[in-house]
Amino acid sequence: MPKYLLLKHYTGGPERHPNMVPMSEWTEDEITAHIAFQRHVCELLQQRGELVDVQALSPERTYVRYGGPDAAPVTTDGPFPETKELAAGWFLIDVESEARAREVAAYVSSAPGKGGQPVYEWIEVRPVMTDAPPQAE
């Protein structure tokens, strides 16, 4: 059974659908409906025995790297170009096939947004590598 990471982004990715209006312009009810849908997706995946993990990420980010011998680590927290991808969270799923992973991604993307209309959000689908060596040559 392959695992896939379904990534949601704050910024970046292909050109956005006009329905992807920033959440700051939604009404309270629209936001509530959106969050309820996310929970519904989790329950559905759980019931089907496909959910491995779900997490949301804070938009804050800091880049850190080794600073060299006897030097402090180098850090930077931006600013970064607006086009840069910023991950917002993920569903990690364990499914029958890549086709099923894409089906789940499309469903996640249909979450209700402004005016109760689907947000048509781009979901990035990434295969997770297995670390089990093959049993045959």
Partner 1 sequence: MNEDIVRVLAPQVLGILVRRGNDFAAAEDAVQEALLEAHRSWRDAPPDDPKGWLLTVAGRKLIDARRSEAARRRREDALSHEPQPGPAEQSDDTLLLLFLSCHPALSPASAIALTLRAVGGLTTREIAEAFMVPEATMAQRISRAKRTVSGQPFTAPGDVAVVLRVLYLIFNEGYSGRVDLSAEAIRLTRQLALASDEPEVAGLLALMLLHHARRAARTDEYGALVPLDKQDRSRWNEAEIVEGVRILQAALARDRRGEYQIQAAVAALHDDARTAEETDWPQILAWYDELLERTDNPMAALSRAVALGEVDGPLVGLRAAEELAPRLGDHHRLDAVRARLYERAGHLDLAAEHFSRAASRARSTAERDYLTRQAARLRRG
Residues that bind partner 1 (CB under 8 A): 1-3, 46-53, 94-96, 127, 129-137
What 61-67 contacts at long range (C-beta under 8 Å, 24+ apart), as own/partner pairs, is: 61/86
What CA–CA distance (Å, rounded) separates 84 from 8?
Answer: 14
Q: Cβ of residue 44: shortest distance to partner 1, in angstroms?
A: 11
Q: Nearer Cβ to partner 1, position 92 or 105?
A: 92
Q: Nearer Cβ to partner 1, position 85 or 96?
A: 96
Q: Cβ of residue 93: shortest distance to partner 1, in angstroms?
A: 9
Structure tokens at 58: 């804070």
Reduced to 3 states (helix: H, G, I; strand: E, B; else coil), residue 70 is coil
Q: Nearer Cβ to partner 1, position 1 or 74?
A: 1
What CA–CA distance (Å, rounded) separates 122 from 31?
Answer: 18
Q: Nearer Cβ to partner 1, position 3 or 114?
A: 3
Buried/exposed code over 101-127 (b: 16+ C-beta within 10 A; e: otherwise): beebbebbbebbbbeeeebebbbbeee
Q: Cβ of residue 87: shortest distance to partner 1, in angstroms?
A: 22
Q: Cβ of residue 46: shortest distance to partner 1, in angstroms?
A: 6
Amino acid letter for position 131:
D
